[in-house]
């Protein structure tokens, strides 16, 4: 059985990894967001809703 210190290190490591992956996905979405906006002909409001929907949905379901 793992000690409490080992569990804490494991949780910290996995949380850091998850944060890094989520940040990388967010950056990639912001990079590809401009071509998506141009291809779909979205105005500023529509693009804002497109970008905000996953964030708002995730925060509401917590």
Asked if 23 and 1 count as a contact pair (C-beta separation under 8 A), the reply is: no
Could you report the per-residue pLDDT of 18-54, keeping only the tens digit for each? Answer: 999 988 988 888 789 889 999 999 999 999 888 888 7
Please give the pLDDT value at position 41: 95
Question: At residue 62, does pLDDT exceed 80?
Answer: no
The verdict on pTM exceeding 0.75 is no
Please give the pLDDT value at position 59: 78
Taking CA atoms, 6 is separated from 2, 15, 17, 19, 51, in Å, by 6, 14, 16, 20, 38
Please give the pLDDT value at position 1: 62
Q: Which two tokens stand for residue 32?
A: 């590809």
Instruction: Please report which residue ranges of the chain form alpha helices under DSSP H.
Output: 4-40, 44-60
Q: Which two tokens stand for residue 45?
A: 């409001």
Q: Which two tokens stand for residue 36?
A: 């998506």
């Amino acid at each position: 059985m793992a000690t409490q210190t080992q569990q804490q290190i494991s949780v910290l490591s996995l949380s850091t990894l998850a944060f890094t992956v989520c940040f990388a996905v967010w950056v990639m979405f912001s990079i590809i967001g401009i071509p998506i906006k141009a291809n779909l002909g979205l105005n500023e409001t529509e693009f804002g809703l497109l970008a905000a929907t996953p964030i708002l949905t995730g925060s509401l379901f917590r």
